[in-house]
Amino acid sequence: MQNDKHSANIKDVAALAQVSTATVSRFLNGNLNRMSDATAERVRVAIDKLKYVPNSAARQMTTKSSKLIALIVANTDDYFSTELFKGVSSILESNGYIGTMLDSDSDLQREKNLLAAVNSHTFDGLILQPFSTISTIENIMRRRAPIVIVDRETPQSPWPQVVTNNFDAAREATAYFVKRGFSHFIVLTSDLSAATNRRERYRGILAAATNVDVLEVSEASYNHRDIHEKLIQLLTKTDERTVIFALKERWILEFVPNLVLQGYIDNVKATATGFADTAVSRRLEPKMKLISQNPFLLGASAAEVMVQALKDGGEQNDDVIVVPAKFK
């Protein structure tokens, strides 16, 4: 029997279990339909006794493929991110790949660390909701694995991108409210400078309205009561009909329900809208018209682009695919 637990190999297991190495291999790969229960049990016992560690890195050498795809999202706490991941996983799995999610936590340095980790590990590809610039990503991603950019359109990307029509969707929603007599807009957003999609949305609002206040909320740290009171000040500073326009669903869920309960949002003097995808926001009364992005579809589309690149041996173009948002 082996004493060094790192040295047992598949032949040792086969010898102890009195089976062929092919049988051990079938066992390890979960291919049990040509094997009796007794045989499977003998193999299991032999593996346990020898503390045999099948070397998946060695198995990978033969295929040069891990079948793992990394999705780096900005914040896993956002429903947008997790639905994006569900869309990605769904398409990947039907093509024999496995989606795994990593969380940059809206932190540029953390995103860089994750990119370096993805670069140095055995991922077959990367789908990225980026904070970093293209040159930063290029500097870190040294391997030739396919990359797909998702959600945040990034200038000069050499890789394909799957994004929402942020500018048009925000402009159209704003124009809708202007037409109905709302002239004052409060843009409720995380740091505008940090993400291209937020800036595009803000530009869209400015393209259709002139009286626009901006209230930035730091994702890392904010005081709920302060923001709530600032919103009330902004809502009551004018007689104009006002729209609170949240660039992110979290800020709707966080601030709108209590403004409704306190009577500030009544759909007459003031209403709220924004980018929102969960059922929770849609079920608040009074009903608000919201912009839905369909993050599942964005993720599925990004995964389809990834699967195609993998089929094409890593060849990629710099197409921008737009999945339109819906205002309803």
> Which run of H or E residues covers position 305?
helix 295-311
| 259 within 8 A of 251, measured Cβ to Cβ | no
Burial of 217 (0-12, 13-18, 19+ CB in 10 A): buried
Stretch that binds a copy of itself, among 12-20, 114-122, 191-199, 318-326 (CB under 8 A): 114-122
Using CB under 8 A, which of 2, 21, 25, 54 touches a copy of itself?
Answer: 54
Closer to a copy of itself by Cβ: residue 90 or 196: 90
Span from 136-144, 150-158, 179-187, 229-237 in contact with a copy of itself (CB under 8 A):
136-144
Neighbouring C-beta atoms of residue 51, cutoff 10 Å: 12
Q: What does the CA dihedral 17, 22, 27, 29 come to, rounded to 10 degrees? A: 150
Nearer to a copy of itself by C-beta: 93 or 191?
93
Cβ of residue 264: shortest distance to a copy of itself, in angstroms?
13
State the number of CA atoms in the 13 A half-sphere of 228 facing the CB.
14
Supply the minimum distance, in Å, between the C-beta of residue 237 and a copy of itself.
Answer: 24
Q: Measuring CA to CA, which residue among 75, 146, 154 is closest to residue 111? A: 75
Cβ-based nearer residue to a copy of itself, 176 or 257: 257
Q: How far apart are the first and last CA of the chain?
A: 70
- Residue 54 vs 216, nearer CB to a copy of itself: 54
d(CA 327, CA 169): 7
Q: Under the criterion CB under 8 A, does residue 22 sit at the interface with a copy of itself?
A: no
Residue 316 found at the interface with a copy of itself (CB under 8 A): no
Contact residues toward a copy of itself (CB under 8 A) are: 5-6, 27-30, 44, 47, 51-61, 64, 66-68, 70, 76-77, 79, 81-83, 85-86, 89, 93, 98-103, 105, 113-114, 116-117, 119-122, 140, 142-144, 224, 253-254, 257-258, 260-261, 279-280, 283-285, 313
